Structure 1
């Protein structure tokens, strides 16, 4: 393995080889990329492998409820301006998937790693990152994820005293609370449309005051820090006050926010904002998200949204009526089995659109749309939706496994 770490030990080499073999067997059997099973095998043979693989890399970790995969991809593109990058670009973001990704990057200079929220402190301990990007925290996978404030507290404890530069969203009180234990924080004004998980102060439990874009706790004085980077319209404002245009092929305000955080991360590694943002233009789709495909002679745009905050951002991407909208929700293990979050989403944003509903939990969604006074049809399959939908590009919004099901069916 290249770099200043010296060669891998025989045990580590064996672990990497065995992991790659297990991944190849999994792929040959048609069970996906094999990255998770490969990583599990490798870590079983050498529990310290993740730390060993990271020693020659400048690592940035990316964690959040929404936007991890896209931001990881944007940062990776930006850092390629300075050298080879290894990244878990397909979103396998727990230790096994991360280990698999790094095992494939022996000649890389940078490691750009998406990390599941629950594993952030552990992975940070193992890989000694140079930077950590914290974007947002909101309710997700209600049956198994910790309550958001508890998660922020875990991050705060796990990152206390870290040597990494923390690039953190100043507009999310939970992120600010989590990052505030760190000695070196770069604050980014990336915005926060979804506020329903941050009405109480994470420091004292008091009621959060939110005048305009500002926020503070009236009881303990915990408040929004002054950002040094900011998203302003279609521009990134850097710490010197210069405005750099954002030109993305990815749609929506949320991706401009992701690009702003990514530019701040790239600057930490010496890549200027202009270079970083120009490189981000290369990203057209991320693991199928935002892809526009043709299926049964109809154009469809595939949008992933897994929780209330994600659905709110995604609704803002859909142009006015009468564009038909297909909604698909499952509640399998990877989604979280509790669908009560559907009641937190404001479906009146879709008023005027013909809505079609499929997925394992289509009836849960149908009840919610009925209460919201929306016009919709429940269908058995995407094929049926295409036959019934009026003209125009079909906007498809699906949660995690429903999104994978749809990609398989439409050949994406």
Structure 2
């Protein structure tokens, strides 16, 4: 580790100060946290600022299509057992947001950083990470991100020969192919419900064979590596075969998988699984996700689902029928403007639930639900949807900007 003997250059200090001032002005104007605009200004003044801010830190990067914000938060909690942590825990995960986050952590030992999949290779080049966690890759934002194999190839090329310890999910063939270019990989059997982006071999294009939980290519021999860490029910199995109980306040199988990967990362830095997992129990909600809020004298649970893989995991969390479900979908810039992914989601899993549809693209969603033979009602807004819901806790599932709209509306 470089230690703190490397003070920031005068230019870097000016960039940090200017970035913080712009961020504060943005917050005062009610335009959000200001972290992105502040980071952009700082990087304009010193294009090398991200690397300078990272040089005294043990940097951990977390990237995936789904689960990176939650996993970043879990790793950050676990590593606080070993030292002070700076993190972009609210999800500003492109270089500007990452720069803003690190600018606030001059005394930290660890930098735990969520990185957008498209930017992983560049951020890894700038920050010289000690560890990189790769969780999954699936279709998302079809108008912005190229198809998943191209993203995997970008990771594979960007991480080739990396000095970082790569902690990677061995159940996702795309992740395995991307990580295999690295000399130092720790494989975690974290599971994968969504398999529709990995039926062809990323290495040769052959058809993948999937007997049980295993997978391999019948043509080139590319196959699932042996895991040293594994999620097994409600436990994490460590490399010695010891089983450690996962006790989270966050719901669902996907979050247990996130905890398993987080425990493997924490162990790289000497934090034992028992300590790491106990600390993860502190996390109740992540940037509003999983929060239960009161609205119009009803309990609403807010769930974020941005793409087919995320919706599949989220359906497994909701209360059984007849729990009412409100679905909200937008297609703004941050969501991706192409809603054709709705046709990849299996909405028959909502059979038996009263369904209420809101959001900018409620009619797109309504057509999809009609084809899936679901009973639903299209509503003008959240107020009307809640008023029409039968008794019981209401599950609210929304994609990215729809989720932010809902949080503002319910005061979360």
Deviation at 1:146, TM superposition (A): 1.3
| CA distance, structure 2, for counterparts of residue 63 and residue 291 of structure 1 | 23
Q: 1:44: which partner in 2? A: 44
On the 8 A contact 1:43/1:96 being kept in 2, the answer is yes
Aligned position for 1:254 = 254
Q: Distance in 2 between matches of 1:29 and 1:411?
A: 18
CA RMSD between the two structures: 0.7
Which residue is 1:293 aligned to? 293
Task: Tell me how far apart the structure 1 counterparts of residues 7 and 48 of structure 2 sit (CA, whole Å).
Answer: 15
Q: What is residue 60 of structure 1 aligned with on the other side?
A: 60
Tell me, in whole angstroms, the C-alpha distance in 1 between the residues paired with 2:289 and 2:320.
21
Q: Is the 8 A contact 2:327 2:358 kept in 1?
A: yes
Unaligned runs of 5+ in 2: none
| SS of residue paired to 1:397 | strand
Indicate yes or no: 2:326 matched with 1:326.
Answer: yes
Partner of 1:118: 118
Matched, 1:409 2:400: no
Matched, 1:353 2:368: no
1:3 and 1:107 in contact (8 A); partners too: no
**2:301 touches 2:394 (CA, 8 Å); kept in 1?**
yes
Which secondary structure state, in structure 1, belongs to the residue aligned with residue 326 of structure 2?
Answer: strand
Aligned match of 2:145: 145
SS in 1 for 2:205: coil
Moved over 4 A (4+): none
Q: Shift of the alpha carbon at 1:5?
A: 4.1
Matches within 5 A, 1:180-329: 180-329=180-329
CA distance in 2, matches of 1:264, 1:187: 9
2:78 aligned partner: 78
CA deviation profile, 1:338-388 (whole Å, cap 9, x unmatched): 000000000010000000000000000000000001000000111001111
- The SS at the match of 2:143 is coil
Partner secondary structure for residue 302 of structure 2: strand
Partner in structure 1 of residue 4 of structure 2 = 4
2:373 counterpart residue number:
373
Q: Is the 8 A contact 1:5 1:55 kept in 2?
A: no
- Gaps of at least 5 residues in structure 1 are none
- Per-residue CA shift, 1:133-173, capped at 9, x if unaligned? 00000000001101100110110000000000000000000
- Residue in structure 1 matched with residue 160 of structure 2 by the alignment: 160
Q: SS of 2:222's equivalent? A: coil
- Normalised to the residue count of structure 1, the TM-score between the two structures is 0.99
- Distance in 2 of aligned mates of 1:331 and 1:120: 24
Residue of structure 2 in register with 1:17 after alignment = 17
Counterpart CA distance in 1 for 2:17 and 2:4 is 21
C-alpha distance in 2, partners of 1:96/1:367? 38
Partner of 1:89: 89
Q: 1:4 to 1:331 in 2, by over 3 A?
A: same
Q: In 1, are the aligned partners of 2:42 and 2:49 still within 8 Å (CA)? A: yes
Using the alignment, how far apart are the partners of 1:8 and 1:308 within structure 2? 43
Aligned length: 411
1:7 CA drift (Å):
1.4
After TM superposition, give the deviation of residue 282 of structure 1 in Å. 0.2
Q: Is the 8 A contact 2:231 2:237 kept in 1?
A: yes
For 2:338, the equivalent position in structure 1 comes to 338
Distance 1:318 1:13 in 2: 48
Aligned mates of 2:223, 2:376 — CA distance in 1: 43
Deviation at 1:267, TM superposition (A): 0.2
Distance in 2, matches of 1:17 and 1:125, equals 24
CA deviation after TM superposition for structure 1 residue 214, in Å: 0.1
The residue aligned with 1:34 is: 34
Q: Is the 8 A contact 1:285 1:291 kept in 2?
A: yes
- Rounded to whole Å, the distance in 1 between the matches of 2:146 and 2:180 is 20
- Deviation of the 1:3 alpha carbon: 3.9
Q: C-alpha separation between the residues in 1 aligned to 2:153 and 2:46?
A: 30
In 2: Cα distance, 1:270 partner to 1:15 partner? 34
